Structure 1
């Protein structure tokens, strides 16, 4: 959605869509979005960085930056590619469901120039939670909307409620349920029939404009087969992502509970504020994660049994990423979009995610 589009114009154009969805009759008492401040005069190297499943996202975001798009518009248009891709079963449409077979989505975003934030959690029936998070940022005095309230808010703004459970995701869920309890009435599915799940996880995208303005977004379908209502780090400002336009931005994918405990997005940006390069800041945050992990989550050598990755950019356009174990990330450095090796703390593969 263009920054120049007013709330009144947006609502008028979406009226037919809202009526079709059966949204609330009483409109939310929203104020029009505040105008954006002048762009920063800081000269920076434009870049976009994302998780390994975000190669198309960084290309899209960078292309938009070069066309003069706002930095938040750029990163959200980037991650929407994955949200709308039914073949990515960790994000948006086609994401793996919770234990009840229902797809619940989470997302959050921050806009550096205005220092605003928006997020949604446990959102059902809307394919692109990143866009709904942006509406929370632009049109409300709140930061986080969850569950039914988040869905009704999206419907009020013209989004269409849809079934997010694809046939592939449903089959994976049925396989999980069939093997859940040896004493239930479901027949176990042989291991040879087990489906391969793409290990791409959540998607985070952070970008810097040539003027040094920064934004970030993280979106996910969350932990597969989670307890209904579980919310991970992705919609938590300061955990799943964080932006300070004076410093940089950082986001994460992996075990959300371990990230929430250290406020990893915020902590990584604070390490950069102290002068650390993006990659070093990500590594330092991962050390904190290991230090604060419960014994049950560590192996006999004191290493995490899960994986977690942080991605970061600073105001100069420097970028990097680091994982607990070897992995990759996507970045557009101004020349090309490609997958790169992430720095890591430990050499062996993670025992579980």
Structure 2
């Protein structure tokens, strides 16, 4: 019988053989060159919603606060927005007319907490943190997650849709089609799921999941992710956002990654874990995201890919950052100073 230590050694050799060549020669790309201009502290987050979220996170980071506190405070801004189709209680409902929320958080020690299928709680990211800090578990779901939240002092919010969500849901019911459209955050004033046009009352952009990762002045990394999931999804559907290693992964020896887009594809690939492991084997954050996007793309035909968008952002321990997407249209917000909080258009794979 092979002893456990020998088995682990063989596994490590197998990983090096299968991962390292891809990291340094995938698709004939030149070897990765590390950026030596990393920033600490630093916070990055998905989509244009990240600009406002980054501001809250930066207030903590610039005062030498903990990255974990920053990534919680940052995404809470997005959870509380009044006009947002895809994050928080004001978001679009599932096909039965109920808003259900997913969230996860992970700290520099490898601790993690998440909630999924949570209803009537304004800040699921904070409940996820309580799961991490107050229970022996990683994930709580549904009514159990809600019960835990109430026991922890979170109030139950009214069980009703926002004005924007109610309008969108009524329009969707006319056809009841479930057909996600990529890059919904750039579809101004339209229902992103094949219903007739619905304008948000303030004309704001729609937003997908918000994911946030940060490195603090002490060099520690943490991350968060929160969403209401796909609009008009089947009741009970859970995406990648609350799943550690899919929607979010942090390894304080290496860095962190977070995802956005079609969650099922991220889950099937264990996407953010793959990004972090690519960085462990020498890839820059951007190249690690690209390699993972390529892995997803290889599973599909060109016709299938027309309706699939997945994107990743990542940071490493040196404060370097990057992102990559399947399709054009993804962007992410980067903040490392009072006067630097900017939106960056991500590189993408498909023409």
| Normalised TM-score (structure 2) | 0.79
Counterpart residue number, 2:239:
232
The C-alpha deviation readout for 1:66-103, integer Å capped at 9, x for no partner, is 11222111011000001000211110121110010000
Query: Aligned match of 2:118 in 123, 142, 163?
Result: 123
Instruction: State the secondary structure of the residue aligned to 2:125.
Output: helix
Bigger CA drift: 61-70 or 124-133? 61-70
1:342 aligns with 2:346: yes
Counterpart residue number, 1:307:
309
Question: What pairs up with 1:92-111 in 2 under 5 angstroms?
Answer: 92-111=88-107
1:333 aligns with 2:340: no
Counterpart residue number, 2:321:
319
Instruction: State the secondary structure of the residue aligned to 1:223.
Output: coil
Instruction: State the secondary structure of the residue aligned to 1:333.
Output: strand
1:45 aligns with 2:40: yes
Query: Aligned match of 2:145 in 142, 150, 165?
Result: 150
Counterpart residue number, 2:85:
89
Query: Could you tell me how far apart the structure 1 residues matched to 2:227 and 2:124 are?
Result: 8
Deviation at 1:44, TM superposition (A): 6.3
- Asked if the contact 1:91/1:221 (under 8 Å) is kept, the reply is yes
Counterpart residue number, 1:160:
155
Deviation at 1:251, TM superposition (A): 0.3
Query: Could you tell me how far apart the structure 1 residues matched to 2:143 and 2:162 are?
Result: 21
- Asked if the contact 2:104/2:243 (under 8 Å) is kept, the reply is yes
- Asked if the contact 1:44/1:211 (under 8 Å) is kept, the reply is no
Counterpart residue number, 1:24:
none
Question: What pairs up with 1:191-270 in 2 under 5 angstroms?
Answer: 194-196=197-199, 198-270=205-277
1:178 aligns with 2:174: yes
- Asked if the contact 2:39/2:336 (under 8 Å) is kept, the reply is no
Deviation at 1:64, TM superposition (A): 0.6
- Asked if the contact 2:61/2:70 (under 8 Å) is kept, the reply is yes
Instruction: State the secondary structure of the residue aligned to 2:318.
Output: coil
Query: Could you tell me how far apart the structure 2 residues matched to 1:258 and 1:96 are?
Result: 21
Query: Could you tell me how far apart the structure 2 residues matched to 1:159 and 1:45 are?
Result: 33
Query: Could you tell me how far apart the structure 1 residues matched to 2:311 and 2:84 are?
Result: 18
Query: Aligned match of 1:73 in 69, 73, 77?
Result: 69
Query: Could you tell me how far apart the structure 2 residues matched to 1:247 and 1:209 are?
Result: 14
Counterpart residue number, 2:130:
135
Query: Could you tell me how far apart the structure 2 residues matched to 1:135 and 1:168 are?
Result: 30
Query: Could you tell me how far apart the structure 1 residues matched to 2:126 and 2:271 are?
Result: 23
Query: Could you tell me how far apart the structure 1 residues matched to 2:68 and 2:249 are?
Result: 13
Query: Could you tell me how far apart the structure 2 residues matched to 1:69 and 1:221 are?
Result: 28
Deviation at 1:343, TM superposition (A): 1.2
- Asked if the contact 2:85/2:206 (under 8 Å) is kept, the reply is no
Query: Could you tell me how far apart the structure 2 residues matched to 1:226 and 1:279 are?
Result: 31
- Asked if the contact 1:50/1:204 (under 8 Å) is kept, the reply is yes
Instruction: State the secondary structure of the residue aligned to 1:98.
Output: coil
- The CA RMSD over aligned residues, in Å, is 1.8
Deviation at 1:306, TM superposition (A): 1.3
Instruction: State the secondary structure of the residue aligned to 1:321.
Output: strand
- Asked if the contact 1:290/1:304 (under 8 Å) is kept, the reply is no
| Normalised TM-score (structure 1) | 0.79
The runs of at least 4 aligned residues of structure 1 exceeding 6 Å deviation read none
- Asked if the contact 1:247/1:314 (under 8 Å) is kept, the reply is yes
